[in-house]
């Protein structure tokens, strides 16, 4: 009986091997098929095989089975035993695809892309559609994770015709998410193919102002592109806009302080908010009515909400004061949807509360993103002493280390007289000088030696005021570290136009609001003509006011479509799961007394 079972198993595996093995007459070779056998059976047969190619194909099948069963470690171990270069192109494509999938399990997109650069991939189009889809899918995932958004979209568009059912729908929605996440200046449909159509649709949606205008733009695009896949089957995210567009916003309460320490901040926010309101009127929109409330005279938030409800308010923009925002975030629910213009310390608030502000933490994370995109891995950090510096340090460190970066050293800046010593310690210059003195003592004569700095710091993350940065950058130059790139938050930029100040910070890269980097924006030109202070550092508050107005009717949209963004004056805005608006910012650099804008960070 046992002998019969062994014979039966051998016959089954022989049949399986025949299915896996390539035809001797084929230069391409067949890709292994998913076998109805265990990993152990496949490895056992591979060990018994006297044909090296058959053994390799069986091990390749075993590695695939292990991967599909969720055992990535075992799969990778088996795959290492496969002599891939001795296989024909078809199995090589299969092995490279599996290697890429395993790299993505380890969150290593660059390793996945390296696996998919194997020469055999040039013959991918000759393989069955199933293999093309599998390879294309992992390629798209790796490209997206590596920040190559447009290339990822192209890959998904390529495999789309080979998909059906739920897989087709998911890929369709993934294409839209990728295309919609591109900055507006990259959405230039220069071709009439599917990619050009997707870009045209995204551009139409992103440049439309209100939900109603977005809906009209979608309908118009579909009429012009009736045969495009997105016109035939609108992405799920866009079908949700119809429901949102049926709930127009007619009255907003603007709750800002008119007296006290925050009065000037409230004034700038209010003027920016109303500038966006009047611009909407000028372009033919029908903006909601605005009701003004003074938060500096509030005695009770409950009383305010009662009055706002009696006044017919549908949305509150404000308050600005952090204690009031903290109070709202602690409530189980709010009577009116509220866009607070500051952040609470807690992570989650009531469902009706949204939070928006110029958080330094956003900029710290932006520095982390930019440095990663520039291929850097090892950071030194300079932040001010105190609570603000601690928050910025924490935000940068968490994002940087979570994405594989290393922090070499951290210095907290306080008194200017200590800067030289702090920077010397950071770069271990005193140790270098000590070695030179020791050598001089040993040889008994003068030794010509220039101090050398440590070489494991690839860049400095700097959060500092313009005055501090003016001292730090020249000190770096003096301490033999002038060639180390410096990436900073917007706090280094005074927007004063002071060429001497900018010269002192030559080479520093910093993130900044679109408002301060684009002096030719039509709304900015209108605002600065009336309020010249909006072209300086106060401009960030004007930009935030503009964006608060533009966010107001889109909160439901951002919540329903979590991958959508609003290209604002204070940054590219999106919403987190806990309903906080976060910003991504463009970049600039001080170059010979001027501010030069840099290409944007990949998404």
Domains and CATH numbers, the chain: 8-146 (1.25.40.10), 194-245 (no CATH), 251-355+532-556 (3.40.50.2300), 360-512+587-598 (3.40.50.2300)
Instruction: Decide if pLDDT at 449 tops 90.
Output: no
Report the distance separating Cα 384 and Cα 387, nearest Å: 9
Question: What is the pLDDT, as a whole number, of residue 365?
Answer: 94
Instruction: Decide if pLDDT at 592 tops 80.
Output: yes
pLDDT band at 413 (very low <50, low <70, confident <90, very high): confident
Question: What is the pLDDT, as a whole number, of residue 205?
Answer: 85
pLDDT band at 92 (very low <50, low <70, confident <90, very high): very high
Q: Which segment, 182-196, 336-350, 390-404, 471-485, is predicted with the most confidence on average?
A: 390-404
Q: What percent of the chain has pLDDT over 90?
A: 59
Question: What is the pLDDT, as a whole number, of residue 397?
Answer: 96
Question: What is the pLDDT, as a whole number, of residue 2?
Answer: 40
CA triple 239-243-247, angle to 5 deg: 150
Contact 93, 32 (CB under 8 A): no
Contact 163, 133 (CB under 8 A): yes
Render pLDDT for 492-502 as a digit per residue (tens, 0 to 9): 999 988 888 89
CB atoms within 10 A of CB 68: 12
Higher pLDDT, residue 9 or 482: 482
Question: What is the pLDDT, as a whole number, of residue 432?
Answer: 42
Instruction: Decide if pLDDT at 338 tops 60.
Output: yes
Say which range, 340-354, 430-444, 540-554, has the weakest mean pLDDT.
Answer: 430-444
Report the distance separating Cα 529 and Cα 1, nearest Å: 96
pLDDT band at 25 (very low <50, low <70, confident <90, very high): very low
Report the distance separating Cα 199 and Cα 201, nearest Å: 5
Render pLDDT for 41-62 as a digit per residue (tens, 0 to 9): 899 998 998 899 889 999 999 9
pLDDT band at 354 (very low <50, low <70, confident <90, very high): very high
- The whole-chain average pLDDT of the chain stands at 86
Question: What is the pLDDT, as a whole number, of residue 1?
Answer: 41
Instruction: Decide if pLDDT at 459 tops 60.
Output: yes
Question: What is the pLDDT, as a whole number, of residue 442?
Answer: 45
Average pLDDT over residues 417-421: 65
Render pLDDT for 177-222 as a digit per residue (tens, 0 to 9): 899 878 777 888 777 789 999 999 988 887 776 677 888 899 999 9
Question: What is the pLDDT, as a whole number, of residue 477?
Answer: 78
Task: Give burial (CB, 10 Å; 0-12/13-18/19+) of 425.
Answer: middle
Instruction: Decide if pLDDT at 436 tops 50.
Output: no
Instruction: Decide if pLDDT at 472 tops 90.
Output: no
Q: Dihedrals φ, ψ of 183, to 5°? A: -60, 150
Q: Which CA distances in Å does 110 have to 115, 147, 425, 544? A: 9, 10, 35, 37
């Amino acid at each position: 009986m046992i002998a019969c079972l062994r014979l039966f198993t051998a016959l089954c595996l022989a049949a399986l091997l025949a299915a896996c093995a390539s035809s001797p007459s084929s230069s391409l070779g067949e890709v292994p098929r998913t076998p109805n056998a265990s990993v152990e059976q496949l490895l056992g047969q591979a060990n018994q095989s006297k044909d090296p190619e058959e053994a390799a194909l069986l091990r390749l099948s075993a590695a695939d089975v292990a991967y599909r069963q969720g055992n990535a470690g075992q799969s990778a171990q088996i795959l290492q035993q496969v002599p891939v270069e001795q296989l024909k192109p078809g199995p090589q494509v299969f092995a490279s695809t599996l290697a890429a999938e395993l790299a993505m399990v380890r969150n290593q997109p660059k390793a996945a892309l390296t696996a998919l650069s194997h020469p055999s991939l040039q013959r991918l189009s000759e393989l069955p559609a199933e293999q093309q889809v599998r390879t294309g899918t992992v390629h798209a995932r790796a490209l997206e994770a590596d920040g190559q958004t447009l290339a990822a979209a192209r890959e998904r568009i390529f495999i789309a015709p080979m998909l059906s059912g739920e897989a087709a729908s998911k890929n369709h929605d993934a294409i839209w998410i990728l295309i919609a996440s591109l900055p507006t200046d990259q959405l230039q449909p220069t071709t009439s193919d599917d990619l050009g159509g997707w870009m045209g649709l995204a551009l139409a949606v992103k440049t439309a102002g209100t939900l109603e205008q977005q809906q009209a733009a979608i309908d118009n695009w579909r009429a012009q592109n009736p045969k495009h896949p997105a016109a035939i089957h609108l992405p799920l995210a866009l079908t949700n806009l119809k429901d949102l567009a049926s709930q127009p916003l007619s009255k907003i309460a603007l709750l800002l302080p008119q007296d006290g320490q925050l009065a000037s901040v409230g004034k700038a926010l209010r003027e920016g908010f109303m500038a966006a309101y009047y611009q909407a009127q000028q372009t033919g929109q029908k903006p909601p009515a605005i009701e003004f409330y003074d938060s500096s005279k509030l005695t009770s938030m409950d009383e305010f909400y009662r009055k706002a409800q009696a006044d017919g308010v549908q949305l509150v923009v404000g308050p600005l004061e952090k204690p009031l925002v903290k109070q709202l975030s602690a409530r189980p629910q709010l009577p009116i949807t509220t866009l607070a213009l500051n952040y609470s310390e807690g992570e989650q608030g009531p469902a009706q509360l949204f939070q928006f502000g110029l958080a330094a933490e956003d900029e710290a994370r932006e520095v982390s993103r930019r440095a990663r995109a520039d291929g850097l891995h090892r950071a030194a950090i300079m932040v001010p002493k105190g609570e603000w510096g601690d928050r910025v340090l924490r935000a940068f460190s968490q994002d940087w280390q979570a994405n594989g970066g290393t922090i070499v050293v951290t210095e907290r800046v306080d008194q200017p007289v200590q800067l030289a010593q702090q920077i010397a310690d950071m770069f271990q210059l005193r140790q270098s000088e000590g070695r030179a003195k020791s050598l001089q003592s040993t040889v008994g004569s003068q030794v010509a030696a220039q101090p050398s700095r440590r070489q494991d710091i690839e860049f400095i993350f700097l959060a500092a005021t313009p005055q501090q940065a003016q001292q730090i950058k020249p000190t770096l130059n003096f301490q033999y570290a002038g060639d180390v790139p410096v990436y900073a938050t917007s706090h280094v930029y005074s927007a004063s136009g002071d060429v001497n100040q900018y010269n002192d910070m030559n080479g520093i890269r910093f993130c900044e609001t679109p408002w301060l980097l684009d002096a030719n924006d039509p709304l900015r030109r209108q605002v600065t003509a009336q309020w010249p202070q909006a072209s300086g550092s106060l401009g960030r508050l004007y930009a935030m006011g503009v964006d608060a107005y533009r966010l107001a009717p889109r909160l439901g949209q951002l919540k329903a479509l979590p991958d959508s963004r609003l290209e604002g004056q204070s940054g590219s805005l999106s919403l987190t799961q806990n309903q906080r608006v976060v910003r991504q910012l463009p970049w600039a650099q001080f170059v010979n007394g001027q501010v030069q804008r840099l290409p944007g960070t990949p998404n």
